Structure 1
Amino acid sequence: MLAVLLLRSASAFRRTIHSAAPLASAAYTHPISPSDPAVSSTPDGLTVEQRRALDAALRIDQAGEVAANYIYKGQFAVLGRERATGALIQEMWDQEKKHLDVMNKLQVQHRVRPTVLWDAAKVAGFGLGALTGLMGREAAMACTEAVETVIGEHYDDQLKEMEDMAPSHPSMPLLKDVIREFRDDELEHLSIAVINDSQKAPAHALLSSVIGAGCMVAIELCKRI
């Protein structure tokens, strides 16, 4: 119960901070001008290497958000009836739904081919979520901790890679702000998992290592396929 109260306080504090300035994702979820080049065009002056890096980044991010949605869907299918745990999973899942909606719009805007592993990401995500849910609340939180650790680091790497990528085109500063926002959301999910006993899961170190390694393999596959 204390963990739930802490989470609600942290979430309320975070919403208060962001209320003064709109989130970057609002440009896609609540667009003021759909024809704004920042949300409707992609840079034309990128080098071949930069274009390849941008395509790979958005392909991975979109696939990752698909998998994340299905992980939480699987966990909720098993643990959703537990009042406190179900509420935690639902809150994180709702954020992931928004992430996927925005990534789908970015994929169209920047003319990126989605990964052919889309359906595999759904199946693997749901299976991982359901399996860790069946292992218990702590294991489900350990799954979240492991996944969000990898994703947080991955978003940081992307921001470094995009640092000098077409800074004068309005879509690129917005894209980087969206990635920062989503990184912060994922790290918040990591904190939620730790607060809610992820590290008390049976064989926590082994479970985290296996899930983390799986995430990194998935990233490399989606980058190429």
Structure 2
Amino acid sequence: MTNSLQPALPLPFSTPSLAARYLRVDHAGEFGAIQIYRAQILIGRWLGRAQVAVLEDFLAHERRHLATFGEVLAERGIRRCRSFALCGAGGYALGLITALLGERAVMACTRAVETVVNRHLQEQLAHLADSDPRAHAAVASIVHDELEHRDVASEHVGRDDTFTRAIDAVVAAATEAVIWTGMRL
């Protein structure tokens, strides 16, 4: 027990603000997306798939997004998320698996990831609008690209069937799990 003359015991670590957790998870998520696209491009080139150019365009966006969040984290002296490596390894595995399943699986993967990500980005924007203008601007700067990825992927998937719905369900659940985990690490 402490009294007013005794200093409180310091915590072994500080609890990051909600904005900091958003930024860290977004940064890790962008790294995961980069790894998904890298794996899909690798397999796509190997198999001579037409969608490689679209994936390379998406990859360029994701690299820019990673840099955006990296800059904001650096400005604030915030370390990256503890789930960063998990996002990278999981993203690469997801990219390889979906690439081996075919072009529709690749695009269903992108659509599922971006659907979940965009829902979370909208929640972040609503929360950050009045509380953290710099974090809000960083999140807002990527929304257009992420919506475009989702929409282009949806066009490539075409009509849904059992296969694409199964990929959607698995990938969306995995994406939600990674976000949930990252927000708590």
Fold match by TM threshold 0.5: yes
Q: Give percent identity, aligned residues only.
A: 27
Post-superposition Cα deviations, 1:157-207, rounded to whole Å, max 9, x if no partner, equal 0011112205xxxxx2x4323312311110100011011125556521121
Amino acid in the other structure paired with 1:142: A
For residue 84 of structure 1, report the CA deviation from its aligned partner: 2.7
Provide the C-alpha distance between the structure 1 equivalents of 2:168 and 2:98, rounded to a whole number of angstroms.
Answer: 11
Out of 94, 97, 111, the residue aligned to residue 128 of structure 1 is 94
What is the CA–CA distance in structure 2 between the aligned matches of 1:97 and 1:199, rounded to whole Å? Answer: 30
Contact kept? 1:107, 1:113, Cα under 8 Å: yes
Matched with 1:29 is: none
Larger mean CA deviation between 192-201 and 84-93 belongs to 192-201
How many equivalent pairs are there? 171
Take 1:159 and 1:98, find their aligned partners in 2: how far apart are those partners? 19
Seen in structure 2, the aligned counterparts of structure 1 residues 198 and 80 have a Cα distance that, compared at 3 Å, is farther
Q: Which runs of 5+ in 1 are unaligned?
A: 1-47, 167-171
Deviation track 1:105-139 (CA, whole Å, cap 9, x = no partner) reads 11111222312222221110000011000000000
User: Counterparts in 2 of 1:64-83, with a 5 A limit?
Assistant: 64-81=29-46, 82=48
- Map of 1:84-123 to 2, 5 A cutoff? 84-123=50-89
1:137 corresponds to 2:103: yes
Q: Give per-residue Cα distances to partners, 1:78-123, cap 9 Å, x unaligned.
A: 1135353110100111110111111111111122231222222111
CA distance in 1, matches of 2:161, 2:100: 12
SS at match of 1:115: coil
Q: Of 155, 177, 182, which aligns to 2:142?
A: 182
Are the counterparts in 2 of residues 139 and 198 from structure 1 also a CA contact under 8 Å?
Answer: no
Describe the shift of the 1:222–1:126 C-alpha distance in structure 2 as closer, same or farther (beyond 3 A): same
1:58 maps to amino acid? L
Residue type at the aligned position of 1:69: I
Determine if contact 2:112/2:168 at 8 Å carries over to the other structure: yes
Q: Distance in 1 between matches of 2:77 and 2:52?
A: 37
Question: Is 1:55 equivalent to 2:20 in the alignment?
Answer: yes
For the residue of structure 2 that corresponds to 1:68, the secondary structure is: helix
Normalised TM-score (structure 1): 0.71
Cα RMSD (Å) of the superposition?
1.9
Q: Normalised by the size of structure 2, how large is the TM-score?
A: 0.85
For 1:175 and 1:132, the matched residues in 2 are separated by 32
